[in-house]
């Protein structure tokens, strides 16, 4: 898969934190003119992610698919698993390059050479051990922890996940309280991308719907300032769509059978 302008296409959902990781990397590496994007509708249909006309979503003009699973079947006719986002698609070979967000972020970081902004390095050699350690701790406790709380089917499982979420938020609040702008210090890295995509969804979805309700993000001074700092990086705000986030999460039948989408919360402190 050679790095070529216009050869690759990114399929994403703006509700999805994992897909949003790739959008942020694409923005920061200035790859908007190199890699095109399609956005699915925020609510999962009975056939999974669907292309359509919800504001901020697109039809699939590239491949003419109605549902994302059609692209998985096109790439691998025997595919029977879940069709997930993000998807990095090769227009030339008409196949999926990768559908794992962590891999795609690193491809965007180093795989496009002079086509990208080489002054931005989201995984610098000198910080890799620290980034890897942060990723390994933040993912189970927080990134995935909110989902384990939200989809828990027993009280014990919910409480364990809930405690893990807030233990990690407390740890991160203390880490950022020393005045550092980002997790590893002055450099914005992929560890920050991974944290940010969960934080930006916290008050809008995880606090209420997923019952992670000890405190809001807004009640954490250092984490709130950090989230605003990341939002204000060039291009990052463009990847955040609170309407998609709320409509997507609150359309989950098992958690919200009537699919009523809340009008709040007030996110004006973040400029949203």
CA distances from 150 to 73, 165, 171, 195, 250 (A): 30, 11, 21, 18, 12
Look up tokens 């491809």; give the residue: 107
What is the C-alpha to C-alpha distance for residues 267 and 271, in angstroms, rounded to an integer? Answer: 7
How close are the terminal C-alpha atoms of the chain, in Å? 38
Residues with catalytic roles? 16, 147
What is the C-alpha to C-alpha distance for residues 151 and 194, in angstroms, rounded to an integer? Answer: 21
H-only helix segments in the chain = 17-28, 68-75, 101-110, 128-138, 145-150, 155-176, 190-201, 221-231, 242-249
At 182 the three-state DSSP class reads strand
């Amino acid at each position: 898969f050679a790095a070529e302008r216009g050869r690759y296409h990114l399929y994403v959902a703006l509700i999805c934190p994992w897909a949003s990781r790739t959008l942020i990397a694409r923005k920061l590496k200035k790859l908007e003119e190199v890699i095109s994007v399609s956005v699915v509708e925020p609510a999962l249909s009975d056939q999974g992610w669907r292309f359509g006309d919800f504001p901020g979503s697109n039809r699939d003009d590239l491949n003419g698919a109605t549902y994302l699973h059609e692209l998985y079947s096109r790439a691998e006719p025997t595919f029977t698993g879940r069709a997930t986002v993000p998807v990095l698609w090769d227009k030339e070979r008409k196949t999926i390059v990768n559908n794992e967000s962590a891999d795609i972020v690193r491809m965007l970081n180093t795989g496009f050479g002079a086509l990208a902004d080489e002054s931005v390095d989201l995984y610098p050699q000198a910080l890799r051990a620290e980034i890897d350690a942060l990723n390994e701790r933040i993912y189970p406790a927080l990134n995935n922890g909110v989902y384990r709380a939200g989809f828990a089917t027993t009280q014990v499982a919910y409480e364990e996940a809930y405690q893990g979420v807030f233990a990690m938020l407390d740890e991160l609040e203390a880490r950022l309280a020393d005045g550092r702008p980002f997790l590893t210090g002055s450099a914005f890295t992929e560890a920050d991308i991974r944290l940010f995509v969960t934080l930006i969804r916290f008050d809008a979805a995880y606090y209420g719907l997923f019952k992670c309700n000890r405190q809001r993000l807004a009640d954490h001074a250092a984490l709130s300032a950090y989230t605003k700092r990341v939002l204000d990086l060039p291009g990052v705000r463009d990847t955040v769509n609170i309407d998609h986030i709320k409509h997507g999460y609150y359309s989950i039948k098992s958690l919200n059978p009537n699919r009523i989408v809340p009008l709040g919360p007030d996110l004006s402190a973040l400029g949203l």
